[in-house]
């Protein structure tokens, strides 16, 4: 695939600006019909997209197929919800006034997406963006640009008007920078790392920004937890997509009363994982996506062990690892609070178990972190659950389920004051974020 340059990105923005007014003038019902055609096109290409997704990203075929199916669902969801994106009439003190609000597209939306879910995460922006009447300029992560191109090819079969969706490949410092900083883009949507998010926030100053950034759990397991449920859910949170999920169970805070039993259970769950070629049906975990991620995972595990943690299982790359991208499912016991796996986003197949003596310490450790995306709490007590929901500073708190639990219509994003993003994606919340709220006042009599 040929990489685009800054000039290509500029041309794409011009095309979007020219196409957007006509697209915004299309009735909402007709836009919804277009989105349904796109959903059908994605579904018709499901097998091809899933196969390419596995080859390029590295996740097992079952996970890839699930992701493509959710991408098709995302277009249908936006088609449903945009019809009910209703404004309000507002009472006024002045009896001669009538005031109403309604939603209008922002204009040209720049979208930058990552490699861990390279089909569904783009759709989290593309579907509501198109439904709302925006024109889009989208650049994917370079390591998964091929499946991005295949997704656009499928979308093109639905006869979307030219210029409404513009796909530009290339590297962030050139193509991404142009999309973010060019005055021709009115708003920016980004999913990725907190470090890149900070750069984009500066470059896009003054533009509307919708950003879903990094996470670091935590998962909290209390003495009254159903350990069967907690183990299965936490293992899924640690090892699905080889841990390369922003909502992964990146650190696991376990009460001392159940620490040893939980550690044994999750070690056995890790032992059951089949690491291997993601194209083989028996494989349940594939490689990491790129060398930088593999190096980071190794660095974090080594740091934890050097500080006193013990690898109950894994803790290294497998012996047969010619690509250098495979890493064993790993459980770390007695992880100290000053280790990188507790303080940073590891983004790999690691379950770092931190022992806490009581609920107060669990809350203290949970709060002492710069991320604030998703957390989980396992307890049978409703009062305790609500206390943790209030106390833990994350945008989502899942009670008695994996940190990865989410559905397409549920608001997803980070808490204020943390490094996990701005705004909410998901369902109606994405639509609202990708629109301007306009107010009209009328004088009568």
Active-site amino acid positions: 212, 246
CA separation for the pair 111, 128 (Å, rounded)? 12
309-320: burial string, b at 16+ Cβ within 10 Å, e else? bebbbbbebeee
Roughly how many angstroms between the first and final C-alpha of the chain, as a whole number? Answer: 64
Q: How many angstroms separate the CA atoms of 330 and 352, rounded?
A: 8
Q: What is the Cα–Cα distance from 248 to 209, expressed in whole angstroms?
A: 24
Buried b / exposed e across 61-91, counting CB within 10 Å, b at 16+? bebbbebbbbbbbbbbbbbebbeebeeeeee
Q: Which two tokens mark 411?
A: 């608001």
* 3-class SS string, the chain: CCCCCHHHHHHHHHHHHHHHHHHHHCCHHHHHHHHHHHHHHHHHCHHHHHHHHHHHHCCCHHHHHHHHHHHHHHHHHHHHHHHHCCCCEECCCCCCEEEEEEEEECCEEEEECCCCCCCHHHHHHHHHHHHHCCEEEEECCHHHHHHHHHHHHHHHCCCCCCCCEEECCCCHHHHHHHHHHCCCCCEEEEECCHHHHHHHHHHCCCCEEEEECCCCCCEEECCCCCHHHHHHHHHHHHHHHHHCCCCCCCCEEEECCCHHHHHHHHHHHHHCCCECCCCCCCCCECCCCCHHHHHHHHHHHHHHHHCCCEEEECCCCCCCCCCCCCCCCEEEECCCCCCHHHHCCCCCCEEEEEEECCHHHHHHHHHCCCCCCEEEEECCCHHHHHHHHHHCCCCEEEECCCCCCCCCCCCECCCCCCCCEECCECHHHHHHHCEEEEEEEEECC
Structure tokens at 344: 């940073």
Query: What whole-number distance in Å separates Cα of residue 287 and Cα of residue 349?
Result: 10
């Amino acid at each position: 695939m040929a990489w685009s340059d800054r000039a290509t990105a500029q041309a794409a923005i011009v095309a979007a600006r020219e196409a957007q007014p006509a697209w915004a003038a299309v009735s909402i019902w007709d836009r919804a019909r277009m989105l349904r055609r796109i959903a059908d096109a994605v579904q018709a290409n499901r097998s091809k997209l899933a196969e390419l997704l596995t080859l390029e990203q590295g996740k097992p075929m079952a996970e890839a197929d699930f992701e493509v199916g959710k991408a098709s669902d995302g277009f249908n969801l936006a088609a449903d919800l945009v019809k009910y994106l209703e404004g309000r009439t507002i009472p006024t003190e002045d009896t001669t006034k009538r005031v109403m609000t309604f939603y209008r597209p922002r204009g040209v939306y720049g979208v930058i997406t990552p490699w861990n879910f390279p089909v569904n995460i783009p759709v989290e922006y593309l579907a509501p963006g198109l439904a709302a009447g925006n024109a889009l300029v989208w650049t994917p992560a370079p390591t998964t640009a091929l499946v991005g191109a295949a997704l656009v090819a499928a979308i093109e079969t639905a006869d979307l008007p030219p210029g409404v969706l513009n796909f530009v490949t290339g590297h962030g410092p050139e193509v991404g920078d142009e999309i973010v900083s060019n005055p021709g883009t009115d708003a920016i949507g980004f999913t990725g790392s907190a470090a890149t998010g900070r750069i984009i926030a500066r470059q896009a100053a003054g533009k509307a920004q919708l950003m879903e950034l990094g996470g670091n759990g935590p998962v909290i397991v209390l003495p009254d937890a159903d350990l069967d449920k907690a183990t299965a859910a936490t293992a899924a949170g640690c090892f699905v997509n080889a841990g390369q999920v922003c909502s992964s169970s990146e650190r696991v805070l376990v009460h001392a009363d159940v620490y040893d039993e939980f550690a044994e259970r999750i070690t056995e769950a890790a032992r059951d994982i089949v690491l291997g070629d993601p194209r083989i049906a028996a494989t349940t975990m594939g490689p990491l996506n790129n060398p930088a991620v593999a190096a980071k995972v190794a660095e974090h595990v080594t740091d934890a062990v050097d500080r006193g943690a013990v690898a109950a299982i894994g803790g290294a790359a497998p012996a047969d690892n010619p690509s250098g991208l495979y890493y064993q499912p790993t459980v770390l016991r007695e992880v100290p609070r000053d280790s990188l796996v507790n303080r940073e986003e590891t983004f790999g197949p690691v379950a770092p178990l931190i022992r806490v003596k009581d609920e107060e310490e669990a809350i203290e450790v949970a709060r002492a972190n710069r991320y604030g995306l998703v957390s989980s709490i396992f307890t049978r007590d409703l009062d305790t659950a609500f206390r943790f929901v209030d106390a833990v500073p994350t945008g989502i708190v899942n009670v008695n389920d994996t940190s990865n639990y989410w559905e397409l219509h549920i608001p997803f994003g980070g808490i204020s004051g943390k490094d996990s993003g701005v705004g909410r994606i998901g369902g109606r919340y994405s639509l609202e974020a990708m629109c301007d709220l306009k107010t009209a006042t009328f004088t009568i009599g």
